[in-house]
Amino acid sequence: MFNFISTMRLAAFVSTYNYPEILKKIKEKNKGLFLVEDGIYHATLKENKNPSEILSTEGKVFALIEDVHTRGFKQDDMDPRVTPVNFKDLVDLVMKEYEKLVWL
Is residue 67 predicted with pLDDT exceeding 50?
yes
What pTM was computed for the model? 0.85
Contact 86, 64 (CB under 8 A): yes
Counting other chains too, the contacts that 22-28 makes at CB distance below 8 Å and 24 or more residues apart are 22/104, 23/54, 23/57, 23/104, 25/1, 27/3, 27/58, 28/4, 28/58, 28/59
Task: Give residue 4's pLDDT.
Answer: 44
Locate the domains of the chain by residue range.
13-103
Output the average pLDDT for the chain. Answer: 86
Tell me the pairing of strands 82-85 and 50-51. Answer: unpaired
Options 3.40.640.10, 3.10.20.30, 3.40.220.10, 3.40.1260.10; CATH for 13-103 is: 3.40.1260.10
Mean predicted confidence (pLDDT) in 79-84: 96
The better pLDDT of the pair 53, 84 is held by 84
Counting residues of the chain whose pLDDT is more than 90, the rounded percentage is 51
Query: Residue 3: what pLDDT?
Result: 44
Is a pLDDT exceeding 60 seen at residue 28? yes
pLDDT confidence of residue 40: 96
Q: What is the DSSP string of 9-49?
A: -EEEEE-SSS--GGGGGB--TT-EEEE-GGGGHHHH-EETT
